[in-house]
A and B are shown apart, each in its own frame.
Chain A
Amino acid sequence: MEKHKAEFSIAATEDITDAVCPLTFVRAKAALEELEAGDVLALRMNDGEPVQNVPRSVKEEGHKILKLTDNADGTYTLFVRKTGE
């Protein structure tokens, strides 16, 4: 985590490990809409379905995927830069 902080500053974090599809994406989308263009969101999600689908859906919305890191506890953190509309 320390390393990412050096690469970009995180404006907000959202934990969607308590949600299932499609709420995982809905919560990610809602968290991104709260941010300004250029801000980075750190999104913690479960391995499996969320990690397969959420990054793709976020990308389809036009946002930029910066990095996906394995937290080695069954969860991943996705770093997304919000793009302006």
Chain B
Amino acid sequence: MSFSKEQLERYSRHIILKEIGVKGQKRLSEAKVLIIGAGGLGAPAALYLAAAGVGRIGIADADRVDLSNLQRQIIHSTNDLGKEKALSAAESMRAINPETRVEAQVCFVSADNIGALVADYDVILDGTDNCPAKFLINDACVLAKKPFSHAGIIRFRGQLMTYVPGQGPCYRCAFREPPPPDAVPTCSQAGVIGAMAGVIGSLQALEAIKYFTGAGTLLTGALLTYDALTQEFRKIRLPRRESCEVCGTHPTITAPFDYAGAVCEIAP
């Protein structure tokens, strides 16, 4: 298939880039991305990936848009208050780019549904705000051999890493298991700068675009941290852990599971 004049114009700033070109843009149009969480991180990631011409984007969230979300979740507007976030996000994405096929999934991810969800997509973006969900996504992606982008934000800090099967550590290699409940506050309890979600969610979109187009190198085997107060980025090397419970040599986790008592609230 070749692009129409209109498509060449829409994606012209991509096509001009040596690292993307027509070939890279075609790969994006055939790409399938699942974004888990239509909150702070998911908002910019979903908007940029739709605008970039990603062929199919799934967006999963069971929450409804709340007034306290609008300080950072820029995919929703004041008119969307009370609406399902997945549906509100899908509307914004379709408005930016009607060429992208958007699949709104009004559900929270759990051990029961995550396998079927990730199976349909090439790359998964973790836009959740709690550790149990992050481990669930990690385990499901490792077991299904799906690349995914982990990210987290709190207060003035953010971090992200990329997992690609066979290329470096998974999230569990680095973080082992969720901290005890309440040891780590979610951003609803601790607060977060709205623009932080924009920075880190956009970096997740970039990782997905680079994965599909083959441009540059990914954050595999590295954790990128960002401190907005000092404006410092740091890239920390992460080794793969041979004894990792899910991606190690003798894995003990063979199916995704939910941590007991975990409240699966996604990006409130």
- Cβ-based interface call for B12 (8 A): yes
Say whether B12 contacts A23, CB under 8 Å: yes
Interface size of A as a range:
10 to 19
Residues of A with C-beta under 8 A to B3: 30
Q: Closest CB-CB distance, A27 to chain B, in whole Å?
A: 6
- Cβ-based interface call for B16 (8 A): yes
- Cβ-based interface call for A34 (8 A): yes
- Cβ-based interface call for A79 (8 A): no
Which residues of chain A (9-49) have a CB below 8 Å from chain B? 22-23, 25-27, 29-30, 33-34
Interface of chain B: mostly helix, strand, loop or mixed: helix
Closest A residue to B15 by beta carbon equals A26
Residues of A with C-beta under 8 A to B22: 29-30, 33
A74 and B16 alpha carbons, distance in the complex (Å): 26
Question: Mind listing 9 A-B residue pairs with CB under 8 Å?
Answer: A22-B13, A26-B8, A26-B9, A26-B15, A27-B5, A29-B16, A29-B21, A30-B2, A33-B22
- Cβ-based interface call for A70 (8 A): no
Residues of A with C-beta under 8 A to B8: 23, 26-27, 30
Closest A residue to B12 by beta carbon equals A26
Interface of chain A: mostly helix, strand, loop or mixed: helix
The contact of A34 among B2, B5, B9, B18, by CB within 8 Å, is: B2
Q: Which residues of B contact A (CB under 8 A)?
A: 2-3, 5, 8-9, 12-13, 15-16, 18, 21-23
Which residues of chain A (45-83) have a CB below 8 Å from chain B? 61
Q: Beyond A22-B12, A23-B12, A29-B15: 19 further Cβ-contacts under 8 Å?
A: A22-B16, A23-B8, A23-B9, A25-B16, A26-B12, A26-B15, A26-B16, A27-B5, A27-B8, A29-B16, A29-B21, A29-B22, A30-B3, A30-B8, A30-B15, A30-B22, A33-B21, A33-B23, A61-B18
